[in-house]
Amino acid sequence: MTPDRFAAARRRMVQAVARAVPGCPDRVLEALVRVPRHRFVDEALWPRAYRDEALPIGHGQTISKPSTVARMTAALGPGPGERILEVGTGSGYQAAVLALLAGAVFTVERIPALAVRARTRLDRLGIRNVEIRPGDGRIGWPEQAPFDAVLVTAAAARVPRSLFEQVRPGGRLVAPVGEGEDQRIVCWLHAGGEWELQELDPCRFVPLREGMGGR
């Protein structure tokens, strides 16, 4: 991606993220340096795009805090050539970060207007290994399963079973679990027919909703 006037601000943001997320792999931090986060929000919000904060993206939804994106990406551990499912495309920012680290990203968004905008942004940035589908991501993307890893970016008390069913043996699933103020990032490893669970930091996501969203 070409240099832009926010490159220095973005580097400072990534330094702050590295302090906030100890042990975050360098390749994740490098992906955050490469993806121009301002291009995933309205121009009026560009001055705030490189602070470690969530920002509105319309339709009552938000682009996650960079440190949260880093934490979830680090927990997911996307590797070169891997196929990743994301539930909750939102702005497309997290998908762009995953696209630099994995082979192919499949992402589902229930609000069609957000899916369209995310597509436009990724096309303009020349990111080609992301497929976006409007739909209810709680059912995953069965035609493209199995996935090496599944990342859910909207919170629910329980992660839908069909998402677990679409993770290959040895794969991972990362999701914000809980409701309202009481949410945690949870990481599951599909190991030897069992699911090993690890609870990570508290987080704050918009809810995972049923069915398709408006307009």
* Residues involved in catalysis: 64
Could you say which residues in the range 102-161 bind ligand SAH, by CB under 6 A? 108-111, 114, 136-138, 153-154
Instruction: Please state the φ and ψ torsions of residue 172, each to the nearest 5 degrees.
Output: -130, 155
* Number of residues near ligand SAH (by CB under 6 A): 24
Q: Which residue in 160, 189, 162, 161 sits closest to 174, CA to CA? A: 189
Q: Contact between 90 and ligand SAH (CB under 6 A)?
A: yes
Residue with smaller CB distance to ligand SAH, 191 or 212: 212
E-assigned strand segments in the chain? 55-58, 61-63, 83-87, 104-109, 130-134, 147-152, 167-179, 182-191, 194-203
Residue 194 C-beta: closest distance to ligand SAH, Å: 27
Cβ closest to ligand SAH, residue 161 vs residue 196: 161
The one segment of 27-35, 87-95, 98-106, 171-179 that binds ligand SAH by CB under 6 A:
87-95
The answer for residues whose C-beta is within 8 angstroms of residue 106's C-beta and 6 or more apart is 83, 84, 85, 86, 130, 131, 133, 141, 144, 147
User: Which residues contact ligand SAH (rule: CB under 6 A)?
Assistant: 61-64, 87-88, 90-91, 93-94, 108-111, 114, 136-138, 153-154, 206, 208-209, 213
